[in-house]
Amino acid sequence: MQFFDWNGQQVIWRNHGETVVVEPWGPDSLRVRAVLMGDVRDDRFALLEPMPSGNVEFVQTDEEHALLRNGKITAKMDVCGWKRRVRLTFVNQKGEVLLQETDGENALVLQARKFEPIIGGDCALTATFVGQEGEHIYGMGQYQEEYMDWKGCTLELAHRNSQASVPMILSSRGYGFLWHNPAVGYVSFGRNRTTWHADTTRQLDYWITAGDRPADISLNYARATGFAPMMPEYGLGFWQCKLRYWNQEQLLEVAREYKRRGLPIDVIVCDFFHWPKMGDYRFDPEFFPDPAAMVKELQDMGIELMVSVWPQVSLTSENYEEMEQQGLLVRAEYGEQIGMRFVEDSMFFDATNPRARKYVWEKCKKNYYDYGIRVFWLDEAEPEYGTYDFKAYRYHIGPNQQVGNVYPQYYSRTFYEGMVEAGQDNPVNLVRCAWAGSQRYGALVWSGDIMSDWSYLRRQVCAGVSMGCAGIPWWTTDIGGFHNGNPKDPAFRELLVRWFQWGCYCPVMRLHGDRKPAEPVFRKDGTPVLNSGSDNEVWSFGEEAYPILVKYMKRREELRPYVRSLMQEAHEAGTPLLRGMFYEFPEDETCAGLKDQYMFGGRYLVAPVMESGARTRSVYLPEGRWRNVDTGEVYEGAQRVTVPAPLEVIPVMERL
């Protein structure tokens, strides 16, 4: 009986109505697909055309055992037990097991690849792998939890405001794994088994790679899903933002004040509801009467203007009727055609529809880009359905529950492709969510509408490192948190200072937040519009904070050549800027569990102060020699030290 077919490119196994395909997919990498009752599909949700693999070998020892070797990774395929199912085991070039499907040939009759038919639809899918003792698992994008190592954790495979599910992991065992499936579901990294689950899908699809060091895995992943562009120069400095500069003169006056004070600033942001109605994709002429003049004055000062765009189209928008008639909006499966209720009822444009992407970009090009605006803030990118009822909506490419996690990638693609077509090099756009492959569309992800408290500061450090491990090197956060910070509150001022210092050592340094108390805003006729928050400029937080913030703005300028070099590494090799200690020191088991310090590139160890009132900081130094950048003191590594951390200092150690 012939179980395995080798066509020179793929190994194909068939039995019991199931088809499994294993094939090389870039250097040291394999793609695995499986389908029940049909042929596998070549859906390219994130994967690109594979790079050539120079060392591929197929060996079949008998009709029940075969292997496919591609460089440093080998898939062993064994037909097992009386049910004659194939079991996959992945090993490295030393023969060490990286990942192995669970064994279904026993009295329990458990299946490693379980397709559960949905009557009238596709299948729920569960894929299980043997748990590996001592394994550490990193990546997975952005979750608001204080973890870097996800071993022992269960995570939702779905996006929410401040949660970006990017299902790429980096294992301490020397492999990377992409769950190439945009369905809503979950993953559990248990001690006994790892379980990936899609609520509804057409097939199993994952990509796996082997690497001697984490950087090798990052490179292979970027080869498979795309490299980030080179960050433009204005992405390297300080970005000023608040909720919200509600008129043209107010925004310009803030920019002028930064220049009067001699403070370095690269970008200033015009936040949401500068438009007449959501989905109008233009400035409200009452508050922004001359956008072209505004952009020109800013550019004359050396400042880029970033403008917020939302995917929501309100039912009262000038574009709603046409977009609804043309089928350019997301469709509710039943009931009212409403996706979110904020200020007014709205529905999201369908970014998976190429006609919708073209329509939205053409509006934004005419009303923003043609004025000289070169940076967009793509908010609400999950998208943020009011109730997160994932079953309730349908896209051009399929039901939300089956494909919805790819939405933010398409949203970034809308603007990236439009800007490239318009002749722009290396676009960067701030976006509130991402999925696998978003990095190739210039996605600078920020961590959403987080709270202004210490626990959320600690969570962002974990989130930024995890995002980088998941292949998204451009990442940032609202310095100070988004919700509830009061600039006059001494407790918040301390938090803001510590967050700001850390922001200096993030890929992009951006100050933002909805500061309290709110400022009411009215039209000339007395009609209320959306509030503005309190002041959020570096001079807004008191006399003690101001010189500290200025110090780190200037330090960021001093770091500009270094940050530029890290962006070049990300562009060429896929390496993250924020690197967990495990990433740079994979042989040091102490580094495996560290979540309160990280490496900013390969040179600087950063230990943010993340507790109120703390004025010292315990730091673990891996083997080597380290210099405190503020005191000049040199330490030998392989030890934990306590270093001073007065309010004006974030502990940073330079690797010598």
CATH code where residue 650 lies: 2.60.40.1180
Residue 326 lies in a domain: no
Q: Which helix (H) or strand (E) segment is 256 a member of?
A: helix 248-260
Is there a single domain that holds both residue 219 and residue 248?
A: no
Is there a single domain that holds both residue 86 and residue 186?
A: yes
Is there a single domain that holds both residue 593 and residue 568?
A: no
CA 178-103-91 angle, to 5 degrees, is: 50
| Cα 252 to Cα 64, 270, 292, 294, 538, distances in angstroms | 72, 10, 13, 7, 16
With a CB cutoff of 8 Å and minimum separation 6, the contacts of 491 are: 612
Supply the pLDDT for residue 622: 98
Contact status, residue 188 vs residue 131, Cβ threshold 8 Å? no
**Which two tokens mark 140?**
């997975």
Neighbouring C-beta atoms of residue 108, cutoff 10 Å: 9
Contact status, residue 280 vs residue 326, Cβ threshold 8 Å? no
Is there a single domain that holds both residue 500 and residue 642?
A: no
Dist. CA 35–CA 578, nearest whole Å: 38
CATH code where residue 61 lies: 2.60.40.1760
- Name the β-bridge partners of 29: 209
Residue 56 lies in a domain: yes
Is there a single domain that holds both residue 478 and residue 601?
A: no
In terms of Cα–Cα distance, which of 79, 96, 90 is closest to 25? 90
Is there a single domain that holds both residue 277 and residue 298?
A: yes
Domain boundary among 549, 574, 599: 574
Is there a single domain that holds both residue 91 and residue 75?
A: yes
Contact status, residue 123 vs residue 201, Cβ threshold 8 Å? yes
Neighbouring C-beta atoms of residue 589, cutoff 10 Å: 12
Residue 329 lies in a domain: no
Mean pLDDT by 10 residues, the chain (656 residues): 89 95 98 96 97 91 94 96 89 98 84 90 95 96 98 98 98 98 98 97 98 98 98 98 98 98 98 97 98 98 98 98 98 94 97 98 98 98 93 96 98 98 97 98 98 98 98 98 97 98 98 97 96 98 98 98 98 98 98 97 98 98 98 98 98 98
DSSP state of 50: P
With a CB cutoff of 8 Å and minimum separation 6, the contacts of 383 are: 311, 312, 330, 339, 340, 348, 407, 408, 411
Supply the pLDDT for residue 119: 84
Residue 375 lies in a domain: yes
Task: Map residue 572 onto helix, strand or coil.
Answer: helix
Range of the domain at 501: 234-309+351-382+430-436+443-574
Residue 287 lies in a domain: yes
**Which two tokens mark 343?**
């200020």
Q: Which helix (H) or strand (E) segment is 466 a member of?
A: helix 454-469
Strand order from edge to edge, sheet including 204-210: 4-6, 11-15, 18-24, 29-36, 204-210, 175-179, 164-171, 137-142
Rama region for 215: left / alpha / beta (φ>0; ψ in -120 to 50; rest): alpha
Residues written for the chain: 656
Contact status, residue 508 vs residue 468, Cβ threshold 8 Å? no
Residue 67 lies in a domain: yes
Residue 322 lies in a domain: no
Domain boundary among 574, 598, 626: 574
Is there a single domain that holds both residue 195 and residue 293?
A: no
Contact status, residue 409 vs residue 429, Cβ threshold 8 Å? no
Q: What are phi and psi of 607, to 5 degrees?
A: -125, 85
The residue assigned the tokens 């509150």 is: 489
Residue 360 lies in a domain: yes
With a CB cutoff of 8 Å and minimum separation 6, the contacts of 300 are: none
Is there a single domain that holds both residue 55 and residue 158?
A: yes
Supply the pLDDT for residue 104: 77
Per DSSP (E only), the strands in 463-571 are 475-476, 509-511, 519-522, 528-532
SS3 sequence of 522-547: ECCCCCEEEEECCCCCHHHCCCCHHH
Contact status, residue 452 vs residue 492, Cβ threshold 8 Å? yes
**What is the count of structural domains for the chain?**
3
Catalytic (active-site) positions: 379, 382, 449
Dihedral Cα 461, 462, 464, 469, nearest 10 deg: 150
**Which two tokens mark 609?**
């102060």
Contact status, residue 574 vs residue 222, Cβ threshold 8 Å? yes
CATH code where residue 287 lies: 3.20.20.80
Is there a single domain that holds both residue 147 and residue 242?
A: no
Contact status, residue 93 vs residue 212, Cβ threshold 8 Å? no
The burial class, CB within 10 Å (0-12 / 13-18 / 19+), for 609 is buried
Helix, strand and coil percent figures for the chain, each rounded to 5: 25, 30, 45
Is there a single domain that holds both residue 522 and residue 601?
A: no
Dist. CA 232–CA 428, nearest whole Å: 8
Is there a single domain that holds both residue 520 and residue 604?
A: no
Domain boundary among 167, 198, 225: 225
Q: Which helix (H) or strand (E) segment is 139 a member of?
A: strand 137-142
